[in-house]
Structure 1
Amino acid sequence: MKNIQILSGIAILALGFTSCKDEKQEKAEKTVESYVMYVDSVKNVAADDLKENWKDVEAEYDRRAANAELALADIKDNTVQTEKINNSKIKYEEFKNSMAATLAPPLTPKQQLRNALFGEGKIGEDMSFNWVNAQNIHNVYQQFVHTVENNKDSYSREDWDEIKLMYEALDSRKNTVEKEGLTSEDNRKIAGLKIKFGPIYTLNRMGAKSEEAAEAKK
């Protein structure tokens, strides 16, 4: 009789362990589903609303993603859940990349001007011209001077000051590039562009200053 009671006790204890284990696995599965649902729901939120609350969205995503990864350890056969997590990670990164332009802070007028003069993102706040070399410097000067020439009537005095700063920085880079294999042909073409730029800058910068003075008097 005593043996029967002991066996019964062991059986009940084992059943309790199984029940706890099932509850733990069920909770883990729900954690994974919660992560998957969160990613899907974020994609349905208006872009403007996401932009205003993006830090909170990212923090919540990181929390749910971490919990989902930890939950896998409590799922006996987690192949399906692992695939769900991986698929949601891909979805989220793709969505985040598609939101990049919306989430990025608006470009300052100065950065917009630099992008026009040299190309998108070529010159940032560090004003590094290390990407300019003997092979591309003629094209850089050409884009710079032609852009200035095409837009000279729309630049403000501040724009012209920025243009001069960029021009001098490019000239400084040219001094280095000349020692790194700049061809005499490209050097000659650059000299022609520099001669073209001088009068454009002088006349239009003066004109912009005069216009601002006239506006101030009004």
Structure 2
Amino acid sequence: MKNTKLVLGLAVIAMGFASCKDEKAEQADKTVDTYVMYVDSVGNVAAEDAKGNWQGIEATYELKSGEAEAAIANMKDNAAAQERLDASRAKYEALKAKYDAEKAEQEIVAVPVNAKQQLRNALFGQGKIGDDMNFSWVNAANIHSVYQQFIHTAEDNKDSYSREDWDEIKLMYEALDSRKNTVEKEGLSSDDNRKIAALKFKFAPMLKVNRMGAKSGEMKRAKE
């Protein structure tokens, strides 16, 4: 009789342990479910709303991610749960990368282009010449058209340029001429060379006169 009671007691205890383990596994699954559902909900938020509240979203994500990781660590057979967690993590990282890229793009657009860069963009094309003064993109095939755009732009806008503008134009013109010396050794055709020489012959005196005029005008205004 005593043996029977002992066996029954052990059985009850075993059932209790099993029940406890089942509850823990079930709770762990629910924690992972919560994490997965949260990531899904982030993906359903309107892009503008998500970007505007990304700091809060990320804080909540880190909390739920940590809870899910801890829950999985306590699971005996966690392969399926780990797979779900990894899939949701990849989904979240893709969303984060998307919003980060959009934010960076907006910040670039929001930064006003300074007057010097605006002038360079007009003379050479958008973003062609930056602070590094790199003219390596100018080659034998395009240098004639580069001179054409530069000189025609300067001629068309000569009345609106300040002394600082003309100083910048002179600096860019000399840098372009320096690049031409290199390009001549890299196969510049004699025909393009003649066309460039004609453009330079017309532009050089205009540059000198307008630059001096802008400087004189500035000095006169300063005295007044």
Query: Shorter chain as normaliser: what TM range?
Result: 0.7 to 0.9
Which residue number in structure 2 is paired with residue 127 of structure 1? 133
Return the match for 2:16 from 12, 16, 22.
12
Spell out, residue by residue over 1:47-104, the C-alpha distance to the aligned partner (whole angstroms, 9 max, x if none): 9xx6xxxxx95797599489759958948365698379538835862x5555555311
Deviation at 1:151, TM superposition (A): 1.1
- Could you tell me the TM-score, scaled by structure 2's length? 0.74
Return the match for 1:200 from 206, 209, 215.
206
- Among all aligned residue pairs of Structure 1 and Structure 2, give the percentage whose two residues are the same amino acid: 45
Q: What is the distance in 2 between the residues matched to 1:150 and 1:46?
A: 46
Deviation at 1:11, TM superposition (A): 2.9
Equivalence map 1:42-57=2 (5 Å):
43-45=47-49, 57=54
Distance 1:179 1:83, change over 3 A: same
Size of the alignment, in residue pairs? 210
Larger radius of gyration: 2
Equivalence map 1:20-99=2 (5 Å):
20-38=24-42, 43-45=47-49, 57=54, 61=58, 64=61, 74=72, 76=80, 82=87, 86=91, 89=94, 93=98
Q: What is the distance in 1 between the residues matched to 2:59 and 2:191?
A: 56
Kept in 2: contact 1:32–1:71 (CA 8 A): no
What is the DSSP-based 3-state SS (H/G/I as helix, E as strand, rest coil) of the residue aligned with 1:44? helix
Kept in 1: contact 2:121–2:127 (CA 8 A): yes
Q: CA RMSD in A?
A: 3.7
What is the DSSP-based 3-state SS (H/G/I as helix, E as strand, rest coil) of the residue aligned with 2:139? coil
Deviation at 1:133, TM superposition (A): 0.8
- Kindly provide the amino acid, as one letter, of the partner of residue 193 in structure 2: N
What is the DSSP-based 3-state SS (H/G/I as helix, E as strand, rest coil) of the residue aligned with 2:193? helix
Deviation at 1:30, TM superposition (A): 3.0
Equivalence map 1:151-190=2 (5 Å):
151-190=157-196
